[in-house]
Structure 1
Amino acid sequence: MKNQNTDKLTNLKDLVPFYKKDNEKLNENTEDIVYSVKKKFNCIKEIGESTFNKYEHTRKNLELLNRELKLNKISLGHQKNEYEEIKIKNEEILNKFENLKHSKCTYQIMLQRIKKEKKLLYFYLNSLERTVASLKNNEKQLHNNIQ
Structure 2
Amino acid sequence: MSYDTWHNYGYGICVDDITEQDVGKLEQLLDCAPVFHAKVQKWLSDSGVADPTWDDYMEYDQDFSLGLATLLREVIEEAEGIPLTACDDFDCNDYLLYSPSYPWQLNDTDRSLTEEQVAKIFRRYVQILTSKPIDIDYQSVENGG
Q: Which structure dedicates a bigger proportion of its chain to helix?
A: 1
What TM-score comes out, normalization by structure 1 length?
A: 0.13
Q: Structure 2-normalised TM-score? A: 0.13
* Higher-RCO chain (CA-CA 8 Å, sequence separation at least 6): 2
* Higher relative strand content: 2
